[in-house]
Amino acid sequence: MTEMVYGAVPARDVEPVLPKWWRTVDRWSLSCVLMLFSIGLLLGLAASPPLAERNGLDPFYYVQRQAVFGGAALVAMLVTSMMRPQLVRRLAVIGFGAAFIALALLPFFGTDFGKGAVRWYGMGFASVQPSEFLKPAFVIMAAWLMAAAQDLGGPPGRLYSFIIMVLIVAMLAMQPDFGQAALVLFGWSVMWFVGGASMLLLIVLALMVVLAGTLAYNNSEHFARRIDGFLSPDVDPTTQLGFATNAIREGGFFGVGVGEGQVKWSLPDAHTDFIIAVAAEEYGLVMVGVIIALYATVAIRSLVRLMRERDPFIRLAGTGLACMFAVQALINMGVAVRLLPAKGMTLPFVSYGGSSLIAGGIAVGMLLAFTRNRPQGEIGDILRGRVR
């Protein structure tokens, strides 16, 4: 009788946050990420002392910094994974606005640290790369717009997300940072496809990418040099690709032994972009296979759990984050074995880097938040119910 007069009062979820989080989170994916970070520290012990010696620093200077940044990344990941999807979306939209402005201001206040691409803000004690934080925030923003477009009377979210994506890709290409631009484009395309885009539109988009690549090749010396180096049948043994290729070949199946690798003394980016070459040389194909399996486990388990998700926003955002996470790892390792043109892209949770580690922790935290078990019916049951 009381409910008829005053209405039903929704039951409050009184379960403590930590037990509920542990019960619902994907512990396999969480364990894989922790293992990747541990492997990154192990490889950092091998790869970073030569660089520290060249720079006149303590032998374990970069390892210690990686541990600090990695600890902050893990804290960010755990905190984010405990949030509700609605809170993740709100914070991501705010973060997207800040990262987008920071990316737009890079040509005026950024620095290239002598690498020929203005991608960072120098802060003395550290540097910040806005594109690393923009990627996960953009995925959430685009997923929100695409999901809103599915509502009756909703906004043209796909068009808005397309415009935002084009702006971001254009700003990244002007740095130039074609690797991150391709990653943003890929993440958006995956969400667009999952959201119901036609194959014709995707083919048109692919043709536009080919046209943009042709223009970049004809007008960007940086881009053309990397494409020519990739297409060349011969590899200069004195380049980073040459050193990495030789190291992977020397490592064989079981590697040359812990601390016995030589590539770390020749590669300036052995602790970042080419960390997989250090792993292949010292620990062999076995270690590389373990790393690949860990990334594949996180991506596949996340996608399988998202297949049961009813909320279109969560399904789109989670798919974009999972695919972007896996493809970034694929690009990094593909460059090292010369399956892809050279790109300045880190290996998530394994390579050294403050921005990439912390942004990666936030992105995986979002993914874990979206893939937590929630009380809901199977999406297949809902579709069958509509048919009936």
Residue ranges covered by each domain of the chain: 24-372
Which band of pLDDT confidence, cut at 50, 70 and 90, is reported for residue 384?
Answer: low
- pLDDT for 6 equals 47
pLDDT score of 67 more than 50: yes
What distance in Å separates the CA atoms of residue 366 and residue 47, rounded to the nearest whole number? Answer: 30
- Inter-residue contact 99 to 130 (CB < 8 Å): yes
Q: Are 252 and 38 in contact (CB under 8 A)?
A: no
Residue 383 has pLDDT above 70, yes or no: no
262 three-state secondary structure: coil
| pLDDT at 148 > cutoff 80 | yes
What is the rounded (10 degree) CA torsion for 206, 273, 291, 264? 150
- Average of per-residue pLDDT across 152-180: 89
Per-residue pLDDT reduced to its tens digit, 238-284: 677 777 888 888 888 888 888 778 888 777 777 888 889 899 999 99
Model confidence at 380, pLDDT cuts 50, 70, 90, reads low
* Cα within 13 Å of Cα(347), Cβ side: 32
CB 82 within 8 A of CB 369: yes
CB atoms within 10 A of CB 220: 16
Q: Which two tokens stand for residue 383?
A: 């579709």
pTM, two decimals, is 0.89
Q: Please write the tens of the pLDDT for every residue from 301-317.
A: 999 999 988 899 999 99
DSSP-assigned letter for residue 128:
E
**How many CB atoms neighbour CB 247 within 10 A?**
26
User: In the chain, what percentage of residues exceed pLDDT 70?
Assistant: 90
Residue 359 confidence (pLDDT) above 90:
yes
The first and second tokens of residue 171, run together, are: 């700003």
Q: Can you tell me the mean pLDDT for 52-62?
A: 86
Write the pLDDT tens digit of every residue in 122-143: 877 778 899 999 999 999 999 9
The dihedral built from the CA positions of residue 133, 139, 142 and 144, taken in this order, carries a sign that is negative
- Chain segment 78-135, per-residue pLDDT in tens: 999 999 999 999 999 999 999 999 999 998 888 887 777 788 888 777 788 999 999 9
